[in-house]
Chain A
């Protein structure tokens, strides 16, 4: 059940330049999982629309969600000022997340496990996925890509997965992108899940070949619940809801099988 509801800030800290780690106590956490997102409202009445932010973590007691986000504009700058005990209005939980059972089946059939690829601010949602997959008994390999040595969340990925790093400037891990690191380390996998910039997702779609690849997409959105048709992605087949070659990222996604979308 989706709702617009007031949450309470438990903590906020900065992880890297412009990257913030916000933990919110909210009833939305009860149904939240890897790959889903919430709408976060600013307190500025001129900036009305909820900001879609992916879920980086759900507490074990299912009472809190964790959002790790980058400050990119007015809304996120506003969020970075939130302090312990502040109220924050949320809409959620939104979107379809990753299918853990399906990934487990792929992994059991192939024996190589699931590969998680995160790039930049696409890194945070991969963490909850790593945690849920590990809890389901799936072997997880994570390769996270950053611009430089200002990395974040790597120590936590190490708790749930074999973790590798790529950086564009070569200051940590493999110099290059996440696929360079996959090749350099000879990483094998049965299925790949990814979140990151569109050029990276396109490359991963091609790289995956016949193996199942799931990607998490983003787009400018307004309602977040599938009504406004703002955030569509082109689909290979005619979509079941729209009856044209468009799926709604907010409700049909944000996680899609890479083979189903034209990116």
Chain B
């Protein structure tokens, strides 16, 4: 039996495949297509201390080889999440990573504290990188001082391992990775979406009501691989890689760049079976290349 287990900040995942926050709800919608038990982890949609209504529509549009979204972190708030989504996830043998968003440091801390005693939550992923909200999120992820401060604050309020989710919309991703690490982050995940824009030339209007949106999909994969490489080589803590992952081969590429685990994002929308097909693709690759332990390839290039 080839070993596909990976360990991040003391949490062991049965395989390195999870999905990107916001592309999978809390797993309910896609449980009709894939057996959630097969996933390394379920990463939930960002949850805030109170319900957020999100942005006006249109919130999504297609672009060449990908899409733009400006959902604006619509979410039902932490109480509904704990009462409805967590009990649903209790039925499955997979790790649970809860993505946390907020407008202010105290918003984040409130959610983090609420989740600290929830046994079903294995890790927290802190969204300091959503480009589609006016307050919070990316504002914390593009400023070194703000990133350091929020990372420290969150670490001071929870014993759960903390993943800081970084934005690609910065000049030096290695520097941001080092800042998060030195402030106490247990792991990093990247990349969140890249800020983009599309104009409908027939209507002379922005394709998205928010004007700008976050780009995701296979078209951004080379940027993501580069940033995962740079970040993972700048820090000692593990990195979860994502950005346009569609196949097992893509996941292998991210792992070779330095990722300890890999998330499938937009491609869930295109292929609801993408996560399990990635797992099968990794197993096939290991078989073909006689790899006994997937950890052998992490950062091997």
Which A residues are closer than 8 A to B by beta carbons?
1-4, 41, 45-50, 91, 219-233, 241-246, 251
Contact = CB atoms under 8 A, between A and B. Distances in A.
A246 B66 CA distance: 25
**What DSSP secondary structure best describes chain B's contact surface?**
loop
Contacts of A242: 51, 74, 76
A246 B54 contact: yes
Contact of A229 (B71, B267, B270, B271): B71
A222 B33 contact: no
A28 to B, nearest CB: 14
Interface residues of B, number: 39
Given A50-B270, A91-B272, A222-B269, A229 B33 contact: no
B62 A227 contact: no
A4 B33 CA distance: 9
Contacts, number: 107
Given A49-B269, A49-B270, A226-B29, A220 B74 contact: no
Most B CB within 10 A of own CB, among A2, A219, A228: A228
A50 B45 CA distance: 22
A230 B22 CA distance: 11
Interface string B5-41: 0000000000000000011110001101100000000
Contacts of A221: 60
Interface of B: 22-25, 29-30, 32-33, 45, 51-54, 57-62, 64-67, 69, 71, 74, 76-77, 80, 217-218, 266-273
Contacts of B25: 226-227
B62 A47 contact: yes
B69 A222 contact: yes
Contact of B76 (A224, A226, A228, A244): A244
Given A226-B25, A244-B53, A2 B76 contact: no
Contact of B30 (A41, A45, A227): A227
A232 B54 contact: yes
Given A1-B32, A48-B269, A50-B270, 11 more contacts: A47-B62, A49-B269, A49-B270, A222-B269, A223-B268, A228-B22, A228-B269, A229-B74, A231-B59, A242-B74, A251-B29
Contacts of B54: 229, 232, 244, 246
Nearest to A49: B62
